[in-house]
């Protein structure tokens, strides 16, 4: 039986409640402060819903669902993969500005590698959101990390037809396993990329059908739960989803406003354990598990949110008529 640490687990639901309040305050252009919580206002945290974060929004709106050109199914997956390797909008726009629309037909490794080598001498080409390994015996003859990763895309994803196998997969878990067997891709990136593929029109599985806990999420779970015994970290995430409303009520967070009627899915709840771990580093530093501080500070932006989601979610039409609400003052329960 899964047992929670109630005095800590409440902060998981507090984070979800308060971080979502910040999201809606920004969305509705309400006056600052959007929260009274100094930890949340001063440090960088992702949104409750993964798809609402800036880079995911760009991926969905500019990489996957483009208005000016149609791509075949393998090209769509390759575009997603190329973007996510760097996970940096500026790198994507730089390469497309030089070679045109990224697709398999113009995937010229020598040209792209040369462009990226020039780019990296001037500015970072990777986001700091993911830790990307650059070591693998198959590609150690290459000099730069970007050369190794893009060679992997060419050799394994395209030539070995992994992308084609992904398109024929029968489940989100099967996609995860296909990616997991590729060089450089561990559990975390394989799961994240599987979800990114699933945003597209060519892959369509229930996000609640599969979950894999990442390292940050595992730290959060260890803080919120008693030792799991025979249960897995994924069991803890599913337990949280199954008891979501129950613990919202127990901890007094029943006014949670979801994403236009869409409830958080397993990927969202998994990510929130990672963010709760970060929050607790500042709130309860005595719970130290590995990392001891929050690494990135929040940089305020007043740029309006322009949201777009996979059309198959059927929520884009609701964005045009947002539910305007009064400014939400932050919770002071804890």
Domain C-terminal end among 133, 165, 200: 200
Q: What total of structural domains would you count in the chain?
A: 2
Query: Which one, of 10, 11, 38, 33, lies nearest residue 22 by Cα?
Result: 33
282 within a domain of the structure (yes/no): yes
pLDDT digits 0-9 by tens, 173-198: 999 999 999 999 999 999 999 999 99
CA angle 96/98/99 to nearest 5° reads 70
pLDDT (0 to 100) of residue 294: 56
SS (H, E, C) the chain: CCCECHHHHHHHHHHHHHHHHHHHHHHCCCCCCCCCCHHHHHECCCCCCHHHCHHHHHHHHHHHCCCCCCCCHHHHHHHHHHHHHHCCHHHHHHHHHHHCCCCHHHCCHHHHHHHHHHHHCCCCCCCCCCCCCCCCHHHCCCCCHHHHHHHHHHHHHHHCCHHHHHHCCCCHHHHHHHHHCCCCCCHHHHHHHHHHHHCCCCCCCCHHHCCCCCHHHHHHHHHHECCCCCCCHHHHHHHHHHCHHHHHHHHCCCCCCCECCECCCHHHHHHHHHHHHHHHHHHCHHHCECECCCCCECCCCCCCCCCCCCHHHCCHHHHCCCCCCCCCCCCCCC
Judge if 194 and 268 occupy the same domain.
Answer: no
80 within a domain of the structure (yes/no): yes
Q: Residue 300 above 90 pLDDT?
A: no
Judge if 101 and 219 occupy the same domain.
Answer: no
pLDDT (0 to 100) of residue 332: 45
87 within a domain of the structure (yes/no): yes
Measured CA distances, 22 to 74, 265, 269, 272 (Å): 37, 19, 17, 15
Whole-model pTM?
0.92
Judge if 80 and 194 occupy the same domain.
Answer: yes
Q: Greater confidence, 15 or 136? A: 15
Q: Residue 73 above 60 pLDDT?
A: yes
d(CA 183, CA 32): 45
Judge if 165 and 267 occupy the same domain.
Answer: no
190 within a domain of the structure (yes/no): yes
Judge if 151 and 176 occupy the same domain.
Answer: yes
259 within a domain of the structure (yes/no): yes
Q: Residue 302 above 60 pLDDT?
A: no
Judge if 18 and 84 occupy the same domain.
Answer: no
Q: Domain range holding 30?
A: 6-53+214-319
Judge if 128 and 172 occupy the same domain.
Answer: yes
Contact 251, 10 (CB under 8 A): yes
pLDDT digits 0-9 by tens, 222-243: 999 999 999 999 999 999 999 9
Domain C-terminal end among 200, 224, 244: 200
Judge if 153 and 222 occupy the same domain.
Answer: no
pLDDT (0 to 100) of residue 152: 96
- Summarize the confidence of residues 111-120 as an average pLDDT: 96
At 130, the pLDDT band (50, 70, 90 cuts) reads low
Judge if 191 and 233 occupy the same domain.
Answer: no
Judge if 159 and 227 occupy the same domain.
Answer: no
Judge if 74 and 195 occupy the same domain.
Answer: yes
Domain C-terminal end among 167, 200, 233: 200
Judge if 219 and 196 occupy the same domain.
Answer: no
For the record, the structure tokens of 185 come out as 């891709």
């Amino acid at each position: 039986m899964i047992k929670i640490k109630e005095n800590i687990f409440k902060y998981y639901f507090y984070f979800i409640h308060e971080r979502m309040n910040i999201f809606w305050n920004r969305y509705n252009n309400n006056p600052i402060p959007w929260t009274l919580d100094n930890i949340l206002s001063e440090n960088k945290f992702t949104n409750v819903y993964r798809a609402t974060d800036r880079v995911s929004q760009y991926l969905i709106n500019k990489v996957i669902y483009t208005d000016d050109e149609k791509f075949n199914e393998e090209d769509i997956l390759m575009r997603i993969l190329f973007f996510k390797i760097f996970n940096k909008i500026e790198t994507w726009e730089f390469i497309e500005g030089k070679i045109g629309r990224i697709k398999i037909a113009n995937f010229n490794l020598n040209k792209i590698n040369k462009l990226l080598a020039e780019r990296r001498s001037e500015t970072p080409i990777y986001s700091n959101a993911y830790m990307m390994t650059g070591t693998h015996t198959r590609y150690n003859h290459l000099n730069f990390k970007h050369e190794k990763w893009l060679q992997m895309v060419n050799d394994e994803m395209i030539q070995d037809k992994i992308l084609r196998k992904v398109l024929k997969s029968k489940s989100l878990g099967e996609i995860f396993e296909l990616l997991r067997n590729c060089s450089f891709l561990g559990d975390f990136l394989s799961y994240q990329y599987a979800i990114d593929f699933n945003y597209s029109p060519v892959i369509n599985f229930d996000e609640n059908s599969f979950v894999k806990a990442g390292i940050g999420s595992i730290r959060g779970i260890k803080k919120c739960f008693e030792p799991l015994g025979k249960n897995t970290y994924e069991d803890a995430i599913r337990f949280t989803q199954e008891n979501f409303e129950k613990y919202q009520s127990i901890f007094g967070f029943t006014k949670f406003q979801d994403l236009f009627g869409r409830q958080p899915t397993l990927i969202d709840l998994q990510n929130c354990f990672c963010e709760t771990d970060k929050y607790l580093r500042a709130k309860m530093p005595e719970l130290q598990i590995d990392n001891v501080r929050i690494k990135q500070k929040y940089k305020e932006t007043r740029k309006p949110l322009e949201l777009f989601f996979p059309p198959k979610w059927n929520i884009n039409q609701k964005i045009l008529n947002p539910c305007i609400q009064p400014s939400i003052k932050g919770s002071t329960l804890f």
